[in-house]
Amino acid sequence: MGGCKICDFDVDLYCAKYPPPEVIDISETHNHKLTLIKKQIEFDCDAKCGNDGYGFRYKCHECEVSFHVDCVWNPSEVKHLLEVNHSHHLHPLKLITGLSLDRCDIKCSLCGREIEDRLFYHCSSCNISLDMRCVLNPPPISLLNLKAHDHQLTLIPRLINFTCCACGLSGYRSLYACSSSICDFMIHQDCLDLPCLISINRHDHNISRPSYLNVVNSVLCGICRDKMDWMYGGYSCQRCPSYFVHSKCATRRDVWNGKELEGVHEETKDVEAPYVVIDDNTIQHFSHIEHYLRHHVNGVLWEENKRCRACAHCIGLQSFYSCIDCDFILHQTCAGFPTSIWHVLYNERLTLVTSEASIFECYAYHRMPNGFRYQRDDKVFDVLCGTISEPFHHPSHDHPLYYIPHDERRQCNGCNELASLVLACIESDCKFVLDFKCATLPLVVMHSIDDDHPFSLRFGKNTSGKHWCDI
């Protein structure tokens, strides 16, 4: 792997040696020319692999479809010999076209990457496979990587069932082992470059990777909520002694933005306060600096034109701030929303945007509000979804809820609809789930069917029996 010392751009040595062309013509599989898009972005690959992608991609601007670079391009400069002798293997390796073996989920025995229907080399005697990267640019036999370990490491280029000391995952892989006779350190090749200091979207402070974790068995990972093991590596927060994260969880693409922060000064100042206190009942909010806002303890405002500018809901029975000179109004809770946040659904810090805008689509739940929003690039959250953090407590359930990514859509206990992005209970035998829509429903509302009495959100035992909607 090569990288830029100035920014966080990294490139595989294989791609550096054989860079993909700017424009490619694959008329046998697609009718138009494809252009290389040099931007790190998520996309759906339209090739037969059918997998999601992230990073550089080839795009057809006429059809608006994208492809993995690997799915449409193999460097013509490389002469694919039918048989090669490899420095890390005793037997000759034979070229396989990908469809020659009646197997699936083939992984490279050196780097561990999946080999997805492309040219690779295989030894039938030892049952090992190497992808083109590891054939053209084999990993070094020995190395000294102080980021990973204090001693010299030696490559063991064969499949061995072991547990990686850096990530704690077990399986049959090649590995680097410590050359010292007094040390039993073993590590995956792809764990050698685990970052030392990072910032993730589940925690307010930077987390670092120590040589060993000083944890007890009852400590849970701050992301997946499974137990931590003190024998293997992970990340911890120096400012929060009880916060720990598995190595692989911390470096997931949806959790970490890919930036190594070692040597970068951490900003220790707090996020800028959203308002200045003028006196016990008056504030000046950053979204409305031209006038002061007066505090009202108990709201009894149900008029349609008396809506909070932040969440766009009626003020209802909540405490609120109203402008002394105009009709600007905010719930007390909404007035205190921070000016920037981390969110479990995005790996960059989001900024609170208060400028008036047309209706936008919230990424967490596809409703179309028009109030304040948290935004970064193309990710936009309304303030109610944007301020959800872990653990999330909802009055409808006794246990805290967490965002745990899931391959399948899950049924919300509030509305019975299926949703991809949900907050779930992690207690054993408890399958309680709320989507972001139901998690942010107001607890009390008014309706024109009854102008005199508010309607309260019912859940749990309070909803026993049969009910009919009067509308």
Q: What is the DSSP string of 99-137?
A: SSSS-SS-B-TTT--B--SS-EEEETTTTEEEEHHHHHS
Amino acid at 279: D
- Is 210 or 254 the better-scoring residue by pLDDT? 254
Q: In what order do the strands lie in the sheet with 93-96?
A: 83-84, 93-96, 120-123, 128-131
- Residue that is written with structure tokens 């990294």 in the block: 10
Is the separation of the CB atoms in 83 and 92 below 8 Å? Answer: yes
pLDDT of residue 363: 92
The torsion angles phi and psi of 245, rounded to 5 degrees, stand at -140, 140
- Is 416 or 357 the better-scoring residue by pLDDT? 416
> 159: which 2 tokens?
């499949």
Which of the residue ranges 23-37, 52-66, 88-102, 434-448 would you say has the lowest mean pLDDT?
Answer: 88-102
Structure pTM? 0.73
Nearest Cα residue to 278 out of 263, 266, 288 = 288
User: From CA 388, how far away is CA 395, in angstroms rounded?
Assistant: 14
pLDDT of 118 > 80? The answer is: no
Q: What is the mean pLDDT of residues 107-125?
A: 77
Residues 210, 213, 214, 219, CA torsion sign: positive
User: From CA 73, how far away is CA 60, in angstroms rounded?
Assistant: 14
Nearest Cα residue to 336 out of 287, 407, 267 = 287
Is the separation of the CB atoms in 83 and 103 below 8 Å? Answer: no
- The shares of helix, strand and coil residues in the chain, as percent rounded to the nearest 5, are 10, 35, 60
Is the separation of the CB atoms in 423 and 401 below 8 Å? Answer: yes
Amino acid at 432: F
Q: What is the mean pLDDT of residues 312-319?
A: 85
User: From CA 220, how far away is CA 227, in angstroms rounded?
Assistant: 4
Q: What is the mean pLDDT of residues 442-471?
A: 66
pLDDT of 440 > 70? The answer is: yes
User: From CA 410, how far away is CA 424, in angstroms rounded?
Assistant: 9
If you count them, how many residues does the chain have? Answer: 471
Model confidence at 217, in pLDDT bands (50, 70, 90)?
low
- Residue that is written with structure tokens 């989920």 in the block: 105
> Contacts by 380-383 with C-beta closer than 8 Å and gap 24+?
381/343, 381/345, 381/350, 382/311, 382/312, 383/310, 383/311, 383/334, 383/337, 383/352
Model confidence at 77, in pLDDT bands (50, 70, 90)?
very low
Q: How many CA atoms lie within 13 A of 241 on its CB side?
A: 2
User: From CA 444, how far away is CA 458, in angstroms rounded?
Assistant: 10
| 390 CB burial (10 A radius; 0-12, 13-18, 19+) | middle
User: From CA 320, how far away is CA 299, in angstroms rounded?
Assistant: 7
What is each CA distance from 450 to 213, 231, 289, 318, in whole angstroms?
59, 62, 37, 19
User: From CA 275, how far away is CA 289, in angstroms rounded?
Assistant: 9
Predicted confidence (pLDDT) per residue in 221-255, tens digit = 999 998 888 788 899 998 988 899 999 999 998 99
> 403: which 2 tokens?
């965002």
pLDDT of 134 > 90? The answer is: no
**53: number of Cβ within 10 Å:** 20
Is the separation of the CB atoms in 469 and 459 below 8 Å? Answer: no
Amino acid at 271: V
Which SS3 state, helix, strand or coil, does residue 23 take?
strand
Percent residues over pLDDT 90 in the chain = 31
Model confidence at 365, in pLDDT bands (50, 70, 90)?
confident
Which SS3 state, helix, strand or coil, does residue 329 take?
strand
- Is 79 or 223 the better-scoring residue by pLDDT? 223
- Residue that is written with structure tokens 């420095």 in the block: 87
- Is 215 or 174 the better-scoring residue by pLDDT? 174
User: From CA 367, how far away is CA 210, in angstroms rounded?
Assistant: 43
Q: What is the mean pLDDT of residues 426-438?
A: 92
Is the separation of the CB atoms in 306 and 315 below 8 Å? Answer: yes
Mean pLDDT of the chain: 82
Model confidence at 80, in pLDDT bands (50, 70, 90)?
low
Which of the residue ranges 109-123, 435-449, 452-466 would you say has the lowest mean pLDDT?
Answer: 452-466
